Structure 1
Amino acid sequence: MSSMTTGTEAAPRSWYKRNEIAITPWLFLAPAMLFFAVYVIIPIAQSFSISFHEWDGLGEKVYVGTANYERLLGIGDAKMDRKFETSFWNNLKWLVLYLLAVPAGLFIALFLNQTVRGIRLYKSLFFFPFVISQVVVGLVFSWFYLPREGLLNAILAVFGAGPVNILGDPTMATYGIIAAGLWPQTAYCMILYLTGLNAVDPEQVEAARLDGAKGYKMLWYIILPQLKPATFIAFVVTIIGALRSFDLISVMTNGGPFGSTRVLSFYMFEESLSEFGFRMGYGSAIAVVLFFIMLAFIAYFLYSMWREERGAH
């Protein structure tokens, strides 16, 4: 009996099977992209749209063009909003002084990146501010700054200095709040640098030691170049934190005294959602200005990182 061979042609593969390798990553990314679009991209677009209207959040929107921006920035016949001006300059103070958290976090990380007795306890103490809420930080520093019962004035009294009312003085209140914010922000930068130090190539360090590099030269030429990713994240997060500084101001001074501690994010809240505001269009214009300031800084750092990586290749 002759053997009979039956050949069956392979069934054509579906479109998904043919493109499975290319499509699968996008399927995994789709939920995150959907949430990002719904909760970030669409609200940003809505803020742009609302900023060209006069709206109380409930009634009918009235299109006013660029009137909100003209009033905010003092374009044309309109005078620049003094509250916006104060908020803008306070944000600049936050930006400059808040960046002190980056080098402070680096030096604390270098101190903690050692194998000495009790180093885990020190790490826990320095890590502690990062895990507590900004509201709690604000309350702690509010008690610390109390004019009579506060610990700060108790310390000053030991040295014979008179009591100071940090949060009640318009010239000092902003700096007092920034000091409170630096406490947890420095802890965050420290964590980033500790993670980066664990990834430093020990062979490069050993080779530098054999070449006689130590101290400042070791840090500048060997350690810091390998910490660039951590430094980039620390700068971006710190800048965003400085521009979004709302919690501490709300808890510690509520924008006072006499509006001297307002920043753009707090002023946006006042105009849009507080009992004195409900001017959603004007608040959205403030939000758009704040968005572009934040975008400029982040774009600059991204471009710097891209240029360095391109030069390395």
Structure 2
Amino acid sequence: MKNAVTAPMTMIQALRSAMDVMLERDNNVVVFGQDVGYFGGVFRCTDGLQAKYGRSRVFDAPISEGGIVGTAVGMAAYGLRPVVEIQFADYFYPASDQIVSEAARLRYRSAGEFTASMVIRMPCGGGIYGGQTHSQSPEAMFTHVCGLRTVMPSNPYDAKGLLIASIENDDPVIFLEPKRLYNGPFDGHHDQPVVPWSKHPMGEVPEGYYTVPLDKASVFRPGTELTVITYGTMVFVSEAAAKETGIDCEIIDLRTLWPLDLDTIVASVKKTGRCVVVHEATRTSGFGAELAALVQEHCFYELEAPIERVTGWDTPYPHAQEWAYFPGPDRVGAAFKRAMEA
């Protein structure tokens, strides 16, 4: 946005700003979930919104994920635009029938008469020592469901623009928020914030309204030797690995996992001839498998090496070995070297 007034924001502040903008802009927007009202959310993303807009627009819900999402589906069908928070992505399972059978199918089963114009915000991933039930990355489950859009930002600027675009969208959006990126910059190695942000110095974010397209990936780091396809926290892990190996990697930040910007992926892989897919979720049936299959289908004759995947382990989330479970710059860098040497 040219000439826009900007302010340094963490991802939490950017998400709060997005909801603030939309609550003021559209009276049909409502925000609710567990502890999002008076308390301001377990991660403080909605802090102050109830005081500003009142209890009829920003309010708490019982501990019932199915009830929260089911209520949002009904609200959306009758013209509201609910933004609901599931405290942790791990908690979505009780609401899975409402998400899959109701929200995702409403437009199709009603022949377009009704839409589920709603956003389900979910903090995802590890990095806070939350153990097995506060650290999962279930994005592949949502990308498998026809009718859902699945979004995962990696920085404050994108987080705000993508959330505003999601609220305005007429389809249900699963909005996944990497917890390791909530409170500040990340250097790809540790859970402590570092300065500055690799892409957006300290998260300079326009204060007003703007959107980021829900179907367009970002070329986070241009390069010529190797394409890295990734999203969320792993964008910065991949950047650290590229710097440490000295390989000229082009890092594609998907931003929206579905609908997928296949054109940007294909153009990059055809240019570099090599591809590494990186994500935090478990390997088997992870979203990386879909990405690798698409690259194979569309870029087979341009590939100079096998496609590599770097992922979490195929185990329950290991609390005591959290930082070994995550793909780190060492593991990611080793995959880069294998792709280059093949």
User: 1 or 2 for the larger relative contact order (CA 8 Å, sep ≥6)?
Assistant: 1
| Pairwise TM-score range, normalised by the shorter structure | under 0.3
Point out the structure with the larger helix share. Answer: 1
Could you say which structure has the larger radius of gyration? 1
Comparing both structures, which one devotes a greater share of its residues to strand? 2
TM-score, normalised to structure 2, is: 0.21
